[in-house]
Structures are given as C-alpha cells and as structure tokens.
C-alpha cells in the first residue's frame, strides 16, 4: 500500500469514527436522529471493508422453526432499539360505543373495542386474525375445535361494519379502529398484539380473575390448550418464565434488502441489532411482563418507537422491562406443517402451500402449537388426534403422506447446498 493511499484510508476511518461518536451522542438526545448518520456509517464501513460479513441478518422468511440455526452475535453488549422512543403524536378518534376504549401505542392514540367478560382462565389466548377474507372461516374453525370453552380472544381490525354482527354474536373479538394492513413497515400486527396485551393486563389488574399468562398465536395455528396449561402452570422449573416461546438466544442483524418481505429500513430501525425475541406463531407473556409493558402507570408501549414486526416489537418491550426470553423445548412449537423440504422452500419464496396430498399425519403429543394448519378440515383432524390419539390413528380414513428420508428438511443438508449458510455458533441440543 502506498503512503498516499494509507493516509487517505486513515483519514476516512477517522471521519467514520467521528460520525459514529456524533451519532451515539445524537441517540442520547433524540432517538430518531439516526437515519442519515447510520446510512453514512454503513457506506463507509462497506467502502473500507469493515462490515462484519459473519454477522447474520434478521431471519429471512417468516422467522420459522429453523431460524435459530443461524449464527448470531452473543457478545455481552448490543445496540438495539429497545430504549428508543417515538416523538410524533398521532390521535385517531372514532364513533362512540359502549365497549370503546382508547389506547396509545408508539405515540399513536386510537380507539378499540372489547366486550365485557365474566370469566377468564389462568391463561388467556389471543389469536391474530383478519377481519375479512378467510378470517371469519378460520375463527369459526377455531371456536369449534381447540378454543371451545376456553378464554380466547380474536384480534381484528378493518371496517367495523365488517365484523359488527360477529362481535355481538360471539363476544370474543377485540376490534382495533385501524386498517387491516400487513404490508411491511405499515403492518397492523404490532398494534393488534399490544392491544391484546393491554386487554389481558386490565383483566388481570382488576382483581376479579387469577390470570397468570397471555398467550399470542395466529389463526392458522392449532393450540393444544391442555398441554399448554400443563407446561406453563404445572411443570417444575428453577424459576417461572416471563417470556416464553420459540425464541432466539442470539442477536440478529435486521435485513435491509427492500425486496425482502422482512426488510426494515434504517429510517425505521437504525440500530445494528434486533433484540432477542420469541417468534410469532406462539409465545407466552407473564403477568409480571404485562404489568411492566401495559399497565397505565407504565408507559413502555405508549412511548416505544414503532416496530412493524410484532414478535420483534415484543422482544424490544422485553428488553425495556428487563425480561429475558425462555427458549421452548423440542417440538413444543412447530412452525411448519410437514417439515418437508418442499414446504420450507415454498414458505421461503412466498409460493402457494404444498399439495394436500403431502400432508403428514397430525401428532400433537407433547406439542403446544402447530403452525400453518392447511385448512379447516386439517384443524378438525388435529383436534380429533389431540382428544383421542389412539382412536384417531385407527379410524382416520385419509391417506396421510409418509415422506421419504431425502424429502425431510434438515439444517445440516441446507448448509451443504447453501455455501452462505453457517453452522450455529450456539445451538440448543434439544432443538
């Protein structure tokens, strides 16, 4: 290297360090004054070859069951956006209704409606669901199977007229006066999840119900409620879990590629790392966690900067509240219906789901959540298998698919076919 080039690189490096220091100082005063500096730093790092190519990006497709097999940074200190606050106040008003209340999330105040309840179990389950499309059909399927006689809310948004009759008939909807949007950084999923947290926190704090946990899932999931209770409430452990699910035990970098479904811009999230978080197919939140995040005398949800990915957003709340995620054992939460290579590839590329002919026989033994249920018929089959496993196996008439060895998805094989895939730096041996 010539002396001139060395001097030039040294000057650029000095400039990068100056901008970094300036940015950190800015963060201390204004959580949103990061974006341009972050972009400059990123460009300088790329120019100088200082980017850490070994650091994994945010899990790329739906944060599925295999995401934890990516390498992650496990160093002691990480700069996440957990303590960054919002600063632009938005207020949405609505038509008065007896069940209407207001909530403030990430500086956005808007109305929501929740019916009165006269009974609540120790675990209250919230199911994120779409108001229209196949949403109503999925909700009926769940009401007729695993949610029957349990404390379950369905959280919806969109026009009130679309769900008014259902709201009045079943008394199990939480409605947000927001658009049903799932498009990247405009997603309503975070607002749905946090409104559910607020509802359960209010029910728990009024003293009428002995609520221990809120459990969030989606309307394409089957929940083995009996085993959920056994695991969370009647399993001996060294300490109670406050935030439990299929969680990351390392910090991932956000994906910045705008073509990626799970991309987040520097403007929205300029920090280098995401927090540790539990993936959205199913996670439990203790009353202690809810008290910190959602009670009126705490302003964590009201003041935190908006994050569109609901599972990551809850991870940010957990870090604000000093709560560590607890990783689930074995196959307690299954993210893929069949675990066929073909299914993984279809999910990764956002392609239509696999053929019904390739569905494998349901098996909810020692499983709490089965995600990506194929349809209402499949939901019913899982319910029948859960109620009486031996009888179901003997009486089922469907020709369930029996995958060949080479068809089953395995991380080890994926690393061979993908030279950029990395062996996990730390892996739970039970996963």
DSSP for residue 297? T
Residue 9 falls inside a structural domain: yes
Strands (DSSP E) found in 85-242: 90-91, 100-105, 108-113, 123-128, 152-156, 173-176, 213-218, 222-223
Q: Locate tokens 């060395």: which residue?
A: 6
User: Does residue 178 sit in the same domain as residue 304?
Assistant: yes
User: Does residue 241 sit in the same domain as residue 354?
Assistant: no
Residue 63 falls inside a structural domain: no
User: Does residue 158 sit in the same domain as residue 16?
Assistant: no
Residue 130 falls inside a structural domain: yes
What pLDDT score was predicted for residue 329?
A: 78
**What distances in angstroms separate CA 58 from CA 23, 97, 282, 309, 312, one per listed residue?**
23, 41, 19, 11, 10
User: Does residue 378 sit in the same domain as residue 260?
Assistant: no
Q: What are phi and psi of 282, to 5 degrees?
A: 180, 120
Note whether 228 and 137 are within 8 A (CB).
no
User: Does residue 40 sit in the same domain as residue 168?
Assistant: no
Write down which residue in 280, 305, 331 finishes a domain.
331
Q: What CATH code is carried by the domain that includes residue 132?
A: 3.90.550
What pLDDT score was predicted for residue 427?
A: 34
Comparing C-alpha atoms, which of 310, 273, 253 is closest to residue 126?
Answer: 310
Residue 336 falls inside a structural domain: no
Residue 56 falls inside a structural domain: no
3 state SS of 46: helix
DSSP for residue 223? E
User: Does residue 229 sit in the same domain as residue 377?
Assistant: no
Residue-number span of the structural domain to which 16 is assigned: 3-51
Residue 430 falls inside a structural domain: no
What pLDDT score was predicted for residue 49?
A: 41
What pLDDT score was predicted for residue 320?
A: 96
Cβ contacts of 195 within 8 Å, gap of 6 or more: 103, 105, 112, 155, 174, 176
User: Does residue 371 sit in the same domain as residue 319?
Assistant: no
Write down which residue in 331, 352, 369 finishes a domain.
331
User: Does residue 324 sit in the same domain as residue 365?
Assistant: no
Task: Give pTM, 2 decimals.
Answer: 0.81
User: Does residue 116 sit in the same domain as residue 245?
Assistant: yes
Write down which residue in 331, 366, 396 finishes a domain.
331
Residue 30 falls inside a structural domain: yes
User: Does residue 244 sit in the same domain as residue 379?
Assistant: no
User: Does residue 302 sit in the same domain as residue 410?
Assistant: no
Q: Domain tally for the chain?
A: 3
What pLDDT score was predicted for residue 8?
A: 46
Residue-wise pLDDT tens for the chain (431 aa)?
Answer: 544 444 444 444 444 444 443 443 333 334 344 333 443 334 444 344 444 444 444 443 344 333 433 445 544 457 899 999 999 999 999 999 999 999 999 999 999 999 999 999 999 999 999 999 999 999 999 999 999 999 999 999 999 999 999 999 999 999 999 999 987 788 999 999 999 999 999 999 988 899 999 999 999 999 999 999 999 999 998 888 999 999 988 899 999 988 887 889 999 999 999 999 999 999 999 999 999 999 877 889 999 999 999 999 999 999 999 999 998 877 899 999 999 999 999 988 889 999 999 999 999 999 999 999 999 999 999 999 999 999 999 999 999 999 999 999 986 555 444 444 444 333 332 22
User: Does residue 322 sit in the same domain as residue 410?
Assistant: no
Residue 428 falls inside a structural domain: no
């Amino acid at each position: 290297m010539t002396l001139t080039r060395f001097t030039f690189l040294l000057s650029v490096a000095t400039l990068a360090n100056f901008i970094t220091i300036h940015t950190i100082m800015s963060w201390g005063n204004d959580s949103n004054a990061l974006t341009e500096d972050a972009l400059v730093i990123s460009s300088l790092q790329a120019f100088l070859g200082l980017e850490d190519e070994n650091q994994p990006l945010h899990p790329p497709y739906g944060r599925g069951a295999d995401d934890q097999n990516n390498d992650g940074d496990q160093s002691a200190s990480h700069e996440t956006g957990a303590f960054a606050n919002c600063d632009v106040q938005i207020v949405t008003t609505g038509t008065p209704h007896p069940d209407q209340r207001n909530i403030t999330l990430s500086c956005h105040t808007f109305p929501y409606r929740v019916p009165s309840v006269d009974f609540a179990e120790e675990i209250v389950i919230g199911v994120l669901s779409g108001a229209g499309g196949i949403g109503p059909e999925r909700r009926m399927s769940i009401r007729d199977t695993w949610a029957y006689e349990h404390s379950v809310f369905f959280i919806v948004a969109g026009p009130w007229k679309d769900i008014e009759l259902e709201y009045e008939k079943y008394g199990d909807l939480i409605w947000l006066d927001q658009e049903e949007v799932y498009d990247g950084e405009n997603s309503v999923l975070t607002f749905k999840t946090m409104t559910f947290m607020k509802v359960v926190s209010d029910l728990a704090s009024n003293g009428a119900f002995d609520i221990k946990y809120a459990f969030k899932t989606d309307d394409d999931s089957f929940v083995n409620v009996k085993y959920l209770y056994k695991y969370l409430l009647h399993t001996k452990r060294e300490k109670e879990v406050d935030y439990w699910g299929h969680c990351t035990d390392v910090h991932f970098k956000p994906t910045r590629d705008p073509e990626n479904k799970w991309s987040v811009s520097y403007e929205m999230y300029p920090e280098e790392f995401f927090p540790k978080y539990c993936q959205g197919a199913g996670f439990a939140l203790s009353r202690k966690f809810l008290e910190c995040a959602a009670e009126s005398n705490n302003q964590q949800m009201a003041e935190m900067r908006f994050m569109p990915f609901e599972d990551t957003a809850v991870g940010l709340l957990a870090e604000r509240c000093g709560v560590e995620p607890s990783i689930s054992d074995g196959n307690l939460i299954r993210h893929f219906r069949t675990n066929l290579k073909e299914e993984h590839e279809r999910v990764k590329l956002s392609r239509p789901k696999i053929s019904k002919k390739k569905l494998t026989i349901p098996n909810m033994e020692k499983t709490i959540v089965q995600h990506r249920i194929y349809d209402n018929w499949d939901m019913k089959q899982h319910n029948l298998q859960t109620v009486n496993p031996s009888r179901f196996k003997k009486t089922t008439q469907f020709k369930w698919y029996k995958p060949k060895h080479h068809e089953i998805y395995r991380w080890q094989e994926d690393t061979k076919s993908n030279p950029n895939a990395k062996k996990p730096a730390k892996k739970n041996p039970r996963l």
